């Protein structure tokens, strides 16, 4: 071996030794982990005195080298003085380092796949001056389950034919968003509109009132927590100053626990009957939509309906994949986790419908349906997340930045919004993380579908077209004025 080779080898060995010394030494931890509920662990930790002293000595040495103490040069301050003068700072530093390093070691050695941070109140934890350091905490972890075979699944594929009649029906629905309401002199007909006030009573007690709401006479009127079936039949023929009464049953998962499953009386007072005048398909109006002719508009509508059909296929596939994968899964989820995720799951569903180009009225109808079954829907959505996450990990599926950029660009085009403003709004509302996870899960579903065997079945009719949704609850939670304020704020932020 040459002299240069020997020197290089020695330097390499020395560097390796330095790197090894820089790595924190493993503590001699005593760890006890107990199951205390679905996906929930209680962890009791004992850090021996020797490890405490090692961390304390290292903290003192660091302060000796850096502390500014009058009368002493840096690095020359006596250790006893450092320990006395910086007692509190040392205590906080030692506690934080012991907690951080022990938690990292526990996570590695015991494979605790935590969903969130441990519920540790650091300020109430003290490291004793003598003896071992003990602390304990509860933590929610990902469910443990065996992932069944997901290749070659048999999936029913809903097939929807996009007919000329379907395009015309959607065009009418689309144009209604740009129409103008005016007073109708005669009795109300189905699909017309009424401006009315709603009041809700239960056992003689008034639950809430909502005034001057304009609603379309469709087969079903959907609230956040109930549905009024036969709404168009009930209201057909009404005129100004007429009243109608009906009953609704509160959803079993309504926010108001006491009224779940209860029957509530609804009184509807009509103030005015209205009819909708659709805009003329002239050059000026078509130009405002970014098209040159009615044929171009119908072409875009057909493309949007095809995207919605793909959305329905994806939703049906997702449901079937989950059903098949969770057939043998008996793992439960903690209620605290489910309740925290209720709003998150709702936002994700709305985001997906926006991506598919559904109208605001269709989205509101779906939103109210989800609110009425919020807990069950969220529990299923969480199981979906964990299962698809496992598939994504196993198949090395990830979301790339370009995936997010393309998704935002597509959403912006569909909503007629600037992509940068849309991204800023999504970031402000915390939806970028949702979007990233959503794309990853979609990729996992697409992987499963790439190996699936399909059986085509006719697609069911869209129920959302038969639902008129209002943005308030029978039990009084949420008001239309709150929605207006939120929308105004969002517009102000965008400007």
What's the number of CA atoms in the CB half-sphere (13 Å) around residue 347? 15
Cα–Cα distances in Å, from 473 out to 49, 256, 364, 381, 457? 58, 10, 13, 23, 36
Residues of the chain with CATH 1.10.3120: 154-171+292-460
Q: Which of 167-171, 240-244, 307-311, 487-491 has the highest mean pLDDT?
A: 240-244
Mean of the per-residue pLDDT values for the chain? 83
Query: Mind listing the pLDDT tens digit for each residue in 214-272?
Result: 999 999 999 989 999 999 999 999 999 999 999 999 988 787 878 989 999 999 999 99
Work out the angle at residue 217's Cα, subtended by the Cα atoms of residues 366 and 275, and round it to the nearest 5 degrees.
120
pLDDT, residue 487, reads 38
DSSP character at residue 281: -
Model confidence at 11: pLDDT above 50: no
**Per mean pLDDT, which range of 40-54, 97-111, 476-490 is the poorest?**
476-490
User: Is residue 489 classed exposed, middle or buried when 0-12, 13-18 and 19+ CB atoms within 10 A define those classes?
Assistant: exposed
pLDDT digits (tens, 9 = 90+) for 301-338: 999 888 888 888 878 877 888 788 777 666 788 777 88
Please report the pLDDT score of residue 464 as a whole number: 59
- What the block records as the tokens of 359 is 């109208």
CATH topology of domain 25-140: Alpha-Beta Plaits (3.30.70)
pTM for the structure as a whole: 0.55
CATH 3.10.50.40 boundaries in the chain: 179-277
Please report, in angstroms and rounded to a whole number, the separation of the first and last CA atoms in the chain: 72
Q: Determine the pLDDT at residue 114.
A: 87
Which residues lie below 8 Å from residue 353, measured CB to CB, with a gap of 6+?
A: 311, 362, 363, 366
Band the pLDDT of 24: cuts 50, 70, 90: low
449: left (phi over 0), alpha (psi -120 to 50) or beta: alpha
Tokens standing for residue 259: 């009224």
Nearest to 305, CA basis, from 406, 454, 161, 172: 161
Which CA distances in Å does 300 have to 137, 201, 217, 307, 455?
56, 46, 28, 11, 29
| E strand or H helix that includes residue 110 | helix 87-110
Predicted confidence at residue 157, as pLDDT, reads 86
369-406 pLDDT, tens digit per residue, is 767 677 777 787 788 888 889 999 999 999 999 999 99
Q: What is the mean pLDDT of residues 133-139?
A: 93
Strands 133-140 and 40-47: antiparallel
Rounded to the nearest 5 degrees, what angle is found at the Cα of 213, between the Cα atoms of 208 and 216? 125
b/e map 32-64, b = 16+ CB within 10 Å: eeeeeeebbbebebbbeeebbeebbeebbeebb
d(CA 250, CA 257): 10
Tell me, what's the pLDDT at 20? Answer: 44
Average pLDDT over residues 179-198: 95
**For residues 200 and 409, what is the distance between their CA atoms, to the nearest angstrom?**
43
What would the pLDDT profile of 417-453 be if each residue is shown by its tens digit? Answer: 788 998 998 888 878 888 898 899 889 988 988 999 9
pLDDT in tens, 333-357: 877 788 777 777 777 778 777 777 7
d(CA 137, CA 41): 8
The three-class DSSP label of residue 357 is coil
DSSP letters along 304-343, please?
A: HHHHHHHHHHHHHHHHHHHHHHTTT------HHHHHHHHH
Residues 199 and 204: their CA atoms lie apart, in Å, by: 12
CATH topology of domain 179-277: Chitinase A; domain 3 (3.10.50)
Q: What percentage of the chain has pLDDT greater than the value 70? A: 87
Please name which of 110, 107, 53, 125 lies closest in space to residue 83, comparing C-alpha atoms.
Answer: 53
Tell me, what DSSP letter sits at residue 114? B
pLDDT at position 333:
82
Domain limits, CATH 3.30.70.1050, in the chain = 25-140
Q: Range with the lowest mean pLDDT among 112-116, 178-182, 350-354, 434-438?
A: 350-354
Q: What is the pLDDT of residue 483?
A: 37
Give CA–CA dist 143/338, Å, rounded: 13
Query: What's the mean pLDDT in 77-82?
Result: 75
Among the ranges 53-62, 152-161, 191-200, 346-355, which has the highest mean pLDDT value? Answer: 191-200
Residue of 453, 449, 160 lying closest to 321 (CA atoms): 449
pLDDT band at 46 (very low <50, low <70, confident <90, very high): very high
- Minimum mean pLDDT among 12-26, 68-82, 291-305: which range? 12-26
**What CATH number has the domain spanning 154-171+292-460?**
1.10.3120
Instruction: Say yes or no to pLDDT of 462 above 80.
Output: no
């Amino acid at each position: 071996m040459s002299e240069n080779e020997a020197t290089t080898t020695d330097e390499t060995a020395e560097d390796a030794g330095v790197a090894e010394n820089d790595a924190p030494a493993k503590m001699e931890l005593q760890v006890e982990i107990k199951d205390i509920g679905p996906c929930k662990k209680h962890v009791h930790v004992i850090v021996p005195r020797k490890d405490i002293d090692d961390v304390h000595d290292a903290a003192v040495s660091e302060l000796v080298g850096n502390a500014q103490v009058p009368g002493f040069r840096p690095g020359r301050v006596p250790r006893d003085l450092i320990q006395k003068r910086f007692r509190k700072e040392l205590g906080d530093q030692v506690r934080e380092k012991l907690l951080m390093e022990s938690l990292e070691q526990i996570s590695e050695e015991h494979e605790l796949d935590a969903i969130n941070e441990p519920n540790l109140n650091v300020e109430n934890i003290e490291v004793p001056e003598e003896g071992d350091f003990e602390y304990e905490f509860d933590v929610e972890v990902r469910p443990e389950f065996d992932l069944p075979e997901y290749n070659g699944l048999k999936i029913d594929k809903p097939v929807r034919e996009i007919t000329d009649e379907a395009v015309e029906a959607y065009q009418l629905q689309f144009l209604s968003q740009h129409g103008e309401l005016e007073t109708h002199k005669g009795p109300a007909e189905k699909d017309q509109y009424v401006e009315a006030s709603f009041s809700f009573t239960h056992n003689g007690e008034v639950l809430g009132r909502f005034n001057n709401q304009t609603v379309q006479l469709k087969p079903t009127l959907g609230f956040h927590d109930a549905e009024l079936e036969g709404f168009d039949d009930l209201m057909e023929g009404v005129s100004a100053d007429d009243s109608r009464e009906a009953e609704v049953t509160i959803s079993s998962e309504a926010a108001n626990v006491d009224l779940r499953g209860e029957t509530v009386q609804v009184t509807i007072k009509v103030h005015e009957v209205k009819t909708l005048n659709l805009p003329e398909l002239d050059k000026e109006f078509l130009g405002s939509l970014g098209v040159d002719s009615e044929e171009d508009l119908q072409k875009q509508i057909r493309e949007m309906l095809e995207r919605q059909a793909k959305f329905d296929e994806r939703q049906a596939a997702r449901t079937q994949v989950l059903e098949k994968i969770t057939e043998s899964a008996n793992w439960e989820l903690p209620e605290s986790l489910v309740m925290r995720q209720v709003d998150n799951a709702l936002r994700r569903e709305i985001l997906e419908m926006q991506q598919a180009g559904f109208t605001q009225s269709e989205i509101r109808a779906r939103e109210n349906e989800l609110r009425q079954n919020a807990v069950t829907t969220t529990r299923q959505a969480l199981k979906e997340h964990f299962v698809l996450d496992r598939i994504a990990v196993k198949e090395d599926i990830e979301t790339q930045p370009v995936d997010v950029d393309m998704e935002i660009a597509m959403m912006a085009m569909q909503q007629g919004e600037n992509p940068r403003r849309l991204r800023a709004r999504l970031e402000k509302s915390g939806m970028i993380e949702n979007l990233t996870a959503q794309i990853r899960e979609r990729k996992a579903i697409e992987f499963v579908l790439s190996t699936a065997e399909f059986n085509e079945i006719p697609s069911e009719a869209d129920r959302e077209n038969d639902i008129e949704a209002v943005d308030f609850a029978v039990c009084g939670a949420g008001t239309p004025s709150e929605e207006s304020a939120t929308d105004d704020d969002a517009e102000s932020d965008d400007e």
